[in-house]
Amino acid sequence: MAQKRSAKKNYPDLHGIVLLNKPKGISSNLALQKVRHLFKAKKAGHTGNLDPMATGLLPCCFGDATKVAHLLINSDKTYLARCVLGIQTDTGDATGEIINTSNKTQVTDEEIKKACGELTGDIEQIPPMYSALHHNGQRLYDLARQGKTVDRPPRPVTIHDFRMIENHKDFIDFEIKVSKGTYIRTLLEDFAAKLRTVAHMSALHRTQTGIFSGDDMLTLEQLQTSEALQKHIIPMDQALVEYPQIILNDQQTQDLIHGKTIACEGSAKRYRLYDAQAKFLGMGDLDKSGTLKVKKLFLKSYQG
């Protein structure tokens, strides 16, 4: 055990983001730990949990990049989802037990488009019992496994796009773009209810998280066989490109590092901060009086 602890201390200070294509059948945390082990990173976290049955884009953040993970968690996400009509499960997906059935297992393209339209935009969604939300200090899925059901207040979510890809004989494929906190399996159950039937989600694949696209993600196998792991690390400021940048001179950089404010011009509220050598320093907020103060500095990666 002592040898393991010693080895871990020798892990490098790695800062950045790796885009993983999470495989089916393992938790997001286990997938993260596998990637962390490959890169031998001291500190790691993922952005936006995917259930074990789901696959797709899971940004893995290392070092100082874990401090921007919340921005990715809060971003919009896009999924490919498969819906099976006629069978409802207690979990809302293919891992659960059947709790209800319907003879209505096929619908027309026109019916699908109409139901999708009714569920597009700002809606309210009741979270499923099989979810990680808390109720009186307990996870909802723990209560569900005990056979308990509690009231869950509806939560506002935004369905930006709910589009049918293809209406197959036994299932329907969708592409769905949603705001944070949206449960796709619940959305598909609500979709089925619009059509006076029941449904469950049989597959889910995430293709986009914020600015990051699934086109750039790598499988565990690809990472395991890569001869140059470092080339797959994305600088963490790429997750923040929605914010404009400010280039600081040497004196301004030192002032901000030492907790001082500086005078600055700009029309935005929050900025990415870079030193005169274009090295990313952190984030700063600019008030109406033109005073820029630090919001968050990434000194470990800056000095690394």
**Is 259 buried (19+), middle (13-18) or exposed (0-12) by CB count in 10 A?**
exposed
Whether residue 285 lies in the annotated active site = no
Dist CA 171 CA 116 (whole Å): 15
Cα within 13 Å of Cα(144), Cβ side: 19
Q: Are strands 270-274 and 245-247 parallel, antiparallel or unpaired?
A: parallel
> Phi, psi (5° rounding) for residue 256?
-70, -40
Instruction: Give the residue among 300, 302, 251, 232 at the shortest CA–CA distance from 272.
Output: 302
Identify the active-site residue in 13, 51, 90, 142.
51
Residue type, 270: R
- Phi, psi of 64, rounded to the nearest 5 degrees: -60, -20
* Residues forming beta bridges with residue 93, ordered by sequence position: 201
Give the contacts of 188 (CB within 8 A, at least 6 positions apart). Answer: 81, 83, 92, 174, 199, 200, 201
Q: How many residues can be counted in the chain? A: 304
The candidate with the shortest Cα–Cα distance to 239, out of 277, 263, 213, 221, is: 213
Please name which of 249, 168, 235 lies closest in space to residue 203, comparing C-alpha atoms: 168
Q: Which residues are catalytic?
A: 51
